[in-house]
Amino acid sequence: MAKKQMTYAGAGVDIDAGDQMVTMIQRHMARTYGSRVLGRHGAFAGCFRLDYNEKLFKRNYRDPVLVACTDGVGSKVQLAVEMGLYDTVGIDLVAMSVNDLIVQGAEPLFFLDYIGTHKLEPQRMTEIVKGVADGCVQSDCALLGGETAELPDLYAEGEFDLAGFAVGVCELKKIIDGSRVERGDVVLGLESDGIHSNGYSLVRAVVREATLDLNQVYVELDERKTLGQVLLTPTRIYARPIVDVLHYYRVKRVVSGMAHITGGGLGGNLNRALPSHCNAKIDRSVWRPSPVFGFLQKHGNIDEEEMFRVFNMGIGYCLIVRPDFANSIAHQLERAGERVHFLGRIVKGDGKVCWQ
């Protein structure tokens, strides 16, 4: 008896679908390109020019330091699968890396993505990459390349996962690492657009245990969006306004520290921007978390401190700035569309966030 003829497609990997997807995503990648991207689409690696030589566009670095980040979206992708909505988690993917990158004072340069999936469906993958490209456009960085892996033995039917990698650049003498934070500095907080991309294991547990309907509109959250759509609101990207503020103060170093508020909340992230001899004294009463946090707390019967430990609770990014420049920086950020709050001040301490 003749042996059955085997193929890669028969083993679960469709090369033709991969080729089709590459063609479909090309236009989304192209809209993130600027004059520093070299080479052509489909090359084995992407090329990015660090400096401009043309006088008109000259933007050279005297002592450049490359800054790199990698992150994922976590179990928020499972919510996307449940809702069948795929064009926002790519924005989350970019945000989670570039928001970390700018904390060090870096300008995002380029981004690469990785998608692992059970089955390569070109239309769905294109929607995901569209979101990645949208995030790159918001961040002023190039989507330089990526990889999509069809792994039917690793992922269950319908499942996928995302990872992203961002590279930026900063002048050596302008790196922001929190070492210049001092007593009297002001803490500014920029509002989040909801949950962002942390805490979704708890979010999904609340939805499950409280038997909430992802396809239902809960008017206390939003009169036009379903619960699932609210929970899939993409992570806010702070790159452009932060980079603009840093470029505005080319001589004076008025921003002494920054923090991206992710898993661990304000207490577990703002402390990473503090030297060992300082505390950040934060007033919780100066801002009001968006309704989604109260909704989850009520339906999940979650303790207040647990909420602040897991979620960003309405503040997605913090800057620690010199007091004489706090108002000016806040006005610049507000003109850029950010919702800014004066959260508190830096006091003598031992490197912790404390509440008043």
Please identify, in words, the CATH class of the domain defined by 186-355. alpha beta
Query: What is the structure's pLDDT at 122?
Result: 86
Tell me the pLDDT tens digit for each residue of 241-300: 999 999 999 888 999 999 999 999 999 999 999 999 999 999 999 999 999 999 999 999
Task: List the one residue out of 152, 159, 170, 151 whose CA is nearest residue 101.
Answer: 170
Superfamily of domain 15-174: PurM-like, N-terminal domain (3.30.1330.10)
Query: What is the structure's pLDDT at 46?
Result: 77
Provide, rounded to the nearest whole percent, the portion of the chain with pLDDT above 90.
79
Lowest mean pLDDT among 14-18, 111-115, 317-321: 14-18
In angstroms, rounded to a whole number, what is the distance separating the alpha carbons of residues 188 and 208?
36
Spatial contact of 208 and 305, defined as CB atoms under 8 Å apart: no
Tell me the pLDDT tens digit for each residue of 195-231: 999 999 999 999 999 999 999 999 999 999 999 999 9
Query: What is the structure's pLDDT at 37?
Result: 78
Sequence letter at residue 223: E
Lookup result for tokens 């108002």: 327
Task: List the one residue out of 319, 172, 183, 346 whose CA is nearest residue 254.
Answer: 319
Sequence letter at residue 173: K
Query: What is the structure's pLDDT at 56?
Result: 45
Residue 265 structure tokens = 């909340």
Query: What is the structure's pLDDT at 151?
Result: 93
Tell me the pLDDT tens digit for each residue of 52-91: 665 544 567 788 999 999 999 999 999 999 999 999 999 9
For residue 12, pLDDT beyond 70: no
Average pLDDT over residues 96-122: 95
Residue spans of the domains in the chain: they are: 15-174, 186-355
Task: List the one residue out of 265, 45, 286 whose CA is nearest residue 147.
Answer: 45
